[in-house]
Amino acid sequence: MTDLTPDPSVRGASVYSVANTTARRELDLFSNTNLKKWAVFVKQEATRKSTRTGASSSASGAQQFNQVSIEVLMRLPAFWVTLLYAVAVTENARSEGITPVETYGAPEVQEPFVRQPWDVYFGGISLGAADGALSVSGTTLSSPYIDSDDVAGLLFGLHIGRFWQSQRRVFGAELSYHLSNIDYSGAVAPPSPPSPPPTVEASRNFDLDHLAELRILAGYEVHPRLLVYTSAGLALGSTTTEFVFSTGGAVSQASDNNTRIGWSAGLGIATDVSRNSFIRGEVSYVDLGTARYVVDDGLGNRADISQGLDFVRITLGYSFKF
């Protein structure tokens, strides 16, 4: 015999997904099938009790059946709660023009996904101004050569990265590439003691051509549209050093290229300008370490020096979120 007792595990309901202009809500409604099972159960229970009492006539039997049915229903408050709830929700759904879709089992409530404001990929452009120092030590024209010079210039770059956000904490990684016009040009002090005639004069030119950085960022969301962060990472610079020698009116030159490896660290602030973009300002320090340059013009004029470069940079950037 089939067991028609209502299954509590199926007491999940038809789920109406209600969409309106203000919000989405999930409404749980017990299914029609479950209601039918409750009705059959009540009828069986009433019949069983009627049979047990043994009705004498059809009229009295029907009256007793109805009385037993009421007693059974009164013992099943869940039936009435279910019925009233079903009617109320159904009428509400129909008044809003919503078509019901029945599902069975425990209703699943899914929270809508909300992207945190700084949990994004980003990419954009930047412009920076740098001011620093170029230190030199070594030999030029067989004489000791020590010098320290100021350098300055601009950097124009592209960057791409990723932010991850956990509550108000933000972490990220960024790769950037910059074109630079940071340079220096100046005369080299004459050798001491002076070289015998003909007198040789020398000048030195230095250029930072390219700068690439790979940095880790860590910040704090002060406001959904405002982020304060720090950065630190690896810096690589492509540099050129050129010496120009003048001997009795004859000019010769020699140069050496070098890729310098160093580091950078900074402090910045970023703020949204729209839903899909933000601007930022940053102050950073870049140290490209010391590199050796050896130049020889093939005429006996030679320079062997080590140069150290470091500078402070102020950068403004514009980034797109995607």
The per-residue pLDDT for 20 is 40
The per-residue pLDDT for 118 is 94
168 phi and psi, to 5 degrees? Answer: -100, -5
What are the boundaries of each domain within the chain? 8-95, 121-321
Residue 149's DSSP bridge partners are 134
Q: Which of 17, 136, 37 is nearest to 82 (CA)?
A: 37
**CA distance from start to end of the chain:** 62
Q: Which of 265, 281, 280 is nearest to 230 (CA)?
A: 265
Task: Please give the model's pTM, rounded to 2 decimal places.
Answer: 0.63
Cα torsion through 31, 32, 38, 40, rounded to 10:
-150
The per-residue pLDDT for 216 is 98
3-state secondary structure of 21: coil
Query: What is the C-alpha to C-alpha distance for residues 147 and 157, in angstroms, rounded to an integer?
Result: 30
DSSP states along 290-320: EEEEEEE-SSS-EEEEEEEEEEEEEEEEEEE
296 phi and psi, to 5 degrees? Answer: -150, 125
Cα torsion through 156, 161, 165, 169, rounded to 10:
-50
Average pLDDT per consecutive 10 residues, the chain (322 residues; last block may be shorter): 47 40 40 57 64 55 57 58 64 61 59 78 97 92 87 97 96 98 87 67 92 98 95 96 84 89 97 94 96 86 91 97 92
Distance of CA 253 to CAs 147, 242, 291, Å?
20, 7, 20
Cα torsion through 129, 135, 138, 144, rounded to 10:
120
Architecture of the structural domain at 121-321: Beta Barrel (2.40)
Query: What is the C-alpha to C-alpha distance for residues 31 and 10, in angstroms, rounded to an integer?
Result: 9
Query: What is the C-alpha to C-alpha distance for residues 45 and 43, in angstroms, rounded to an integer?
Result: 5
Q: What single-letter DSSP state applies at residue 101?
A: B
Residue 137's DSSP bridge partners are 146, 306
Query: What is the C-alpha to C-alpha distance for residues 225 and 284, in angstroms, rounded to an integer?
Result: 22
Distance of CA 50 to CAs 55, 190, 218, Å?
7, 126, 77
Half-sphere exposure of 240 (CA within 13 A, CB side): 13
Cα torsion through 137, 140, 144, 150, rounded to 10:
-40
| 183 close to 158: Cβ distance less than 8 angstroms | no
Query: What is the C-alpha to C-alpha distance for residues 78 and 81, in angstroms, rounded to an integer?
Result: 5
The per-residue pLDDT for 199 is 74
The per-residue pLDDT for 43 is 65
Query: What is the C-alpha to C-alpha distance for residues 322 and 319, in angstroms, rounded to an integer?
Result: 10
| 37 close to 3: Cβ distance less than 8 angstroms | no
